Amino acid sequence: MKKKKKRGLTPLPLMIFYDLLAIGIGLTVFALFHHVLNFQPVSEPVVILTPSPAPTEEPEETEIVVEEPEEQLPPGDFSRKYADLFTDGEIISDANSYRSRDLAVNYTRVEQEMLVCHVAEIYVRDVHLLQTGFSSGEYMGNTEFFTGIASGVNAVTALSGDMYKSRWEGVVIRNGVLYRDTEFEDVCVLWPDGVMECVPAGSFDPSALVAGGAWQAWGFGPTLVKNGASIDNSSHSLDKLNPRAAIGYAEPGHYYLVEVEGRTDYSNGMRFDQLSELFLSLGCTEAYNLDGGQSANFYWNGELLNQDFYRKVSDIIYVAESTEGSAE
């Protein structure tokens, strides 16, 4: 009879391998039942949106507009300032107004008890359109009736001037030419930029007028309004009711010519304080008295509107349509 062989012990490394294998199988089975077979899904799917990066906006293209600098007009050119008052070239006129490329003029007859005034409100395209005219067409020429001078220069409206020829004193600058540089009371100056200035007696400097290129200068007076305020002329020798002629200034390019009738059965004339108040009511900051009495005349629409005393005069102030080069 054969003897049974004894079973030997399993080597230790092999035992460790089997143990690790068993543990791994157990963990796998546990994970299967716990994490997979027991997973309960939510009732409805939830879509989670991951915010996408904000799109980078392309900068809008900005059109760069280079503005052309506005053309600088020469001093005394008001074509842009009063452009809405002028026309493109046609002349439009009626009994009380006149419009053209060069001028805008409004005429008003002022009537009160025992008082009649004629007022021309004037806008000029260029300061050189506010002109002066000599009798007989020349300095120290023979005196003429007012209407003859006014019609001879085709005036739209005109006013008698300072009667420079009646005396040997008084500055005379007409249309940019200096004829006489002596002083006679106050002086009224129209500068090339359109500013009108009344210079008090004693402050007259003829060299300053020449250096500043004065366009017009009259020597009669007195000053009625200075820097927007009335001047007291109550002690002046001529301060009594009289026919009057005077010029007023509102702003560059904007002027007034005023004639006050007097010595009639319907108009007494004005004292200086009344005349000053009239110019202030018109918005003038400067106003100047010219030769009055029987020399005071006013022309509008081809006619003399005041009573004619048939006195001949030496000069007028007027506006008319420009001829080529006159407003340069």
d(CA 198, CA 211): 17
Specify if 64 maps to a domain.
no
Does the residue 39 lie in any domain? no
Residue type, 269: G
Classify residue 194: in a domain, yes or no.
Answer: yes
Structural domain includes residue 42: no
Q: Which of helix, strand or coil describes residue 15?
A: helix
The answer to whether residue 307 sits within a structural domain is yes
- Tell me whether residue 327 is in a domain: no
DSSP state of 279: H
Q: Output the CA torsion 175→179→184→188 (10° steps).
A: 20
Digits of tens for pLDDT over the chain (328 positions)?
A: 444 444 444 565 556 656 656 665 655 544 444 444 444 444 444 433 344 455 556 666 667 766 767 788 999 999 999 999 999 999 999 999 999 999 999 999 999 999 999 999 999 999 999 999 999 999 999 999 999 999 999 999 999 999 999 999 999 999 999 999 998 899 999 999 999 999 999 898 999 999 999 999 999 999 999 999 999 999 999 999 999 999 999 999 999 999 999 999 999 999 999 999 999 999 999 999 999 999 999 999 999 999 999 999 999 999 999 975 444 4
Number of structural domains found in the chain: 1
**Position 214 in a domain:** yes
Domain of 120?
A: 83-319
The span from the CA of 159 to the CA of 132, in Å, is 10
Place of tokens 């003429």: 144
Q: What is the pLDDT of residue 204?
A: 86
Cis upstream peptide for 222 (omega within 30°): yes
Task: Give domain status of residue 276, yes or no.
Answer: yes
**Where does residue 138 fall: left (phi above 0), alpha (psi -120 to 50 degrees), or beta otherwise?**
beta
